[in-house]
Structure 1
Amino acid sequence: MTDVLTPVLSANWGDERAWKLHNYERRGGYQALRKALAMEPSAVVAEVKESGLRGRGGAGFPTGMKWSFIPQNNPNPKYLVVNADESEPGTCKDIPLMMASPHTLVEGVIIASYAIRASHAFIYCRGEVLHVIRRLQQAVREAYSAGYAGKNILGTGFDLEIVVHAGAGAYICGEETALLDSLEGRRGQPRLRPPFPAVAGLYACPTVINNVESIASVPCIIGNGAEWFSSMGTERSKGMTIYSLSGHVARPGQFEAPMGITLRELLDLSGGMREGHQMKFWTPGGSSVPMLTDAHLDIPLDYEGVASVKSMLGTKALQCFDETTSVVRTVLRWTEFYKHESCGKCTPCREGTWWLVQILKRLEAGKGEEGDIEKLLDLCENILGRAFCALGDGATSPITSGIQYFREEFEAGMHTPAWELFPYERSSIFVREGASA
């Protein structure tokens, strides 16, 4: 089974001091930048477009196409913004990438900035991960010292300033327009679109916003060619990507594999579910996408495959839960998170998530009232598509899918507490000494 893994972004993670510039260069680091600077910017955009790279942050929009939307006849400055605010529950791929090999991202930032003709780039990093921020800042300093960033990069006349910006710990700033408001020093809240960031983004100038993994994939595409990259993956979801496997699995972690691998294959690689237990439900892309069950283990983990079963690939955060887990409790905990992280700008999300939490708390405690399940579904229907951004939509997904697949557990909430049906200590990953799982 191990031949299905394709370590590219993670190839150097096990190297000693892989984050240092000289170790990155020893593996061919910054050769792709030299190659890109010898090309026309438009040719770099075309190469990324031809590779079929799609955004690795959730929506899966073609990266090269997003770059091509930047109006080059606009006299205003162009900006590149890297969304490194990885806050989606269950997601852990960008942080280890930046920690282990920050220069992979920095090189991608420089190439992408050159391609869109930007002279300023910003890496917006989640504020809580101070160790990652420091490592990125050190990598940027090394890039400046080596002539890869700053003025007249490698003697080509291309100038680029790179800023590592620490966020203040708001989940909403993972939404790209809220991130721009935060970068500008305002409270992070989503903007009305249009205008889209490509036309009026940071400081009302043309802006490209990409996820960490999307930008980090650019050097290998330029270095090895679009055909090499598109030879991996599926027909419409090209290349390799990092899947985060967590929860009740024997060996959780990051698995870099071609797009289209199945969860069953990934579980084989990770030793399967924890001993003596079986899969109950899982999320293909973090907590804000519809959950799936053990009936979906052979669905290709690409954008089309997951969409075919009415879910989303999202951030590829594969959270796996076994039969000891209460669906009602899990959904409640996620909903509490979305209620807490709602920016409050729009009524459906601000008020709707509060009411969802109240009803779910009743069901968890076995004090549900007649009509509560229908009320949950009605609230979700009134939030879905009516919130200002995707946070509201994401808050409804676990609830509607949970009721779809495990309605009997929600009905049991009319008379029996969830902790009686599913004692919470049994689902704990960390078992106390002397206790049994």
Structure 2
Amino acid sequence: MDRCIMEGNAHAVIEGMIICAAAIGASVGYIYVRMEYPLAVKRLKAAIQMAREAGFLGKNIFGSKMNFDINIMEGAGAFVCGEETALMASIEGRRGMPTLKPPFPAEKGLFGKPTVINNVETLATVPVIMRMGAAEYAKLGTEKSKGTKTFALTGHVANSGLIEVPFGTTLRKIIGEIGGGVIDDNGKIIGTNFKAVQIGGPSGGCLTQKHLDLPLDYEQLQAAGAMIGSGGLVVMNPNTCMVKIARFFMQFTQNESCGKCTPCREGTRQMLALLDKIIDGKAEMADLELLEQLAAVVKSSSLCMLGKTAPNPIISTLAHFRDEYLAHIVDKRCPTNQCEALQSYRIIPDKCKGCSLCAKKCPVAAITGTVGKPFELDPKKCVKCGVCAGSCKFQAIIKG
């Protein structure tokens, strides 16, 4: 969302920063942008140069005593630099790692100076608020969450992309109307029958069908165990394995951990290992208990918000889809048949000619039947060696 704002309306960001600088008495501004966004960097630099030439940036702006200029700082794409103290460390040329607060940036920030840090979307909205007037802008949104929010709508949805909606808009409207509905694995629209919506990015939480009419704002989402976060909205259809989803997001946060504090550095690694164990069908109930304990410890004792929010996908999926975890652990099966290690072979009756070759080849006698009629495979006896599928001439045995 921020990338598109910088690419599509860089002047709005600059204007917001100038207003902010005038309000707090700042003389220098920095835009910290990922180096993976070359178009955003190019357009920001061009917009800054235009602003300088027009007299909006520089010394004694329009004959006033205000001096203000903006610098571009290209970061290496570290997720942890979304944390304000890590971001400032990176700008100063140090490794992007968070530090304890206080002191807060407003007291002692970049290069030891009082610093205000805001998101690109926030800064770009400031000119809009001033142009509309605070009272008029406050008519948008909810009682406590004013204005609009940009979301990145993606996943199993017909229309994906960036959307801007007032705070308080429901998932029913976002997915069903704006998104065009949920799609199955073949791209067919199935209405608003989603399984879960991951909101808030890698550190967010899951919403379910019971939240279909929940107004999306800061307070309501927090009460539901989720958060606005970065504004990501990932829609998942009923054929999604929630344990694999938790593992996917944990893999990301584990990779992005800066390693400074032990709870995040070691905790995310151990949670990822436990999720792998569950997906591989090797976990026991004790592992699930340990996973929950680890999630609680990492959430409460990590240094920065990356670590504190890293367990959210686990906590959220356990709250809403605990039965899927239990199926993986107790029954050694994936309800959605998405986990490869837990997939079992099955015989398609319409394709089986009853030749009995698979039964003869099976090393554990898991396949039985009468010649000339479709055979049956007992999943409890099957060791998933694949010999039967390899020997079937009619492709009647598949995995899944």
- Is TM > 0.5 for Structure 1 vs Structure 2? yes
Q: Distance in 2 between matches of 1:395 and 1:132?
A: 28
Q: Indicate the RMSD between aligned Cα atoms, in angstroms.
A: 1.6
Are the equivalent residues in 2 in contact too, given 1:362–1:413 (CA < 8 A)? no
1:404 pairs with 2:312: no
Give the structure 1 partner of residue 11 of structure 2: 103
* Residue pair 1:366, 1:412 contacting (<8 A) in 2 also: no
Match of 2:75 in 1: 167
Q: 1:272 aligns with which of 181, 187, 194?
A: 181
What's the counterpart of residue 363 of structure 1? Answer: 278
- Select 2:53's aligned residue among 121, 145, 150: 145
Structure 1 stretch 182-191 or stretch 149-158: which is displaced more? 149-158
- Could you tell me which residue of structure 1 aligns to residue 332 of structure 2? 416
State the one-letter code of the partner of 2:32.
Answer: Y
CA contact (8 A) 1:282 1:320 kept: yes
CA contact (8 A) 2:88 2:109 kept: yes
Percent identical pairs in the alignment equals: 42
1:157 is aligned, of 36, 40, 65, to 65
Q: Distance in 1 between matches of 2:206 and 2:69?
A: 41
Q: Distance in 2 between matches of 1:240 and 1:346?
A: 36
State whether residues 325 and 422 of structure 1, in contact with CA within 8 Å, keep that contact through their aligned partners in structure 2. Answer: yes
In structure 1, runs of 5+ residues without a counterpart are 1-92, 425-437
Residue of structure 2 in register with 1:307 after alignment: 222
Work out the number of aligned pairs and report it.
Answer: 332
Separation in 2, partners of 1:418, 1:149:
59
Distance 1:217 1:122 in 2: 18
Question: Counterpart amino acid of 2:337?
Answer: L
Deviation for aligned residue 1:111: 1.1
Q: Cα deviations across residues 315-372 of structure 1 (Å, max 9, x unaligned)?
A: 2211111112111111111111111111111110010001011111111122223311
Indicate the SS of the match to 2:202: coil
Higher RCO (CA-CA < 8 Å; seq separation 6+) = 1
Amino acid at match of 2:251: E
- Mapped pair 1:226 → 2:134: yes
Amino acid at match of 1:382: V
Structure 2 counterpart of 1:292, which letter? Answer: L
How do 1:200-279 residues align onto structure 2 when only pairs under 5 Å count? 200-267=108-175, 268-274=177-183, 275-277=188-190, 278-279=193-194
C-alpha distance in 1 between matches for 2:166 and 2:140? 6
Distance 1:226 1:400 in 2: 38
2:197 aligned residue (260, 266, 282): 282
Q: How far, CA to CA, are the matches of 1:307 and 1:419 in structure 2?
A: 29
Q: 2:377 maps to which residue?
A: none
Which amino acid is 2:180 matched to?
G
The match for 1:34 is none
Output aligned runs, 1:325-404, within 5 Å.
Answer: 325-404=240-319
CA distance in 2, matches of 1:213, 1:276: 32
Residue deviations 1:170-191 (CA, integer Å, cap 9, x gap): 1110001100111110001111
Conserved 8 A contact 1:367-1:417: no
CA shift, 1:418, in A, is 4.4
Whole-Å Cα distance in 1 between the matches of residues 199 and 83 of structure 2? 19
Check conservation: 1:328, 1:418, Cα contact below 8 A.
no
> Unaligned 5+ residue runs, structure 2?
341-400
> What TM-score do you get using the length of structure 1 for normalisation?
0.73
**8 Å contact kept, 2:107–2:113:** yes
SS at match of 2:173: helix
Residue pair 2:240, 2:336 contacting (<8 A) in 1 also: no
Matched, 1:321 2:236: yes
AA partner of residue 338 (structure 2) = F
Q: Distance in 2 between matches of 1:128 and 1:99?
A: 13
Q: CA deviation at 1:169?
A: 1.6
Q: Which amino acid aligns with 1:154?
A: F
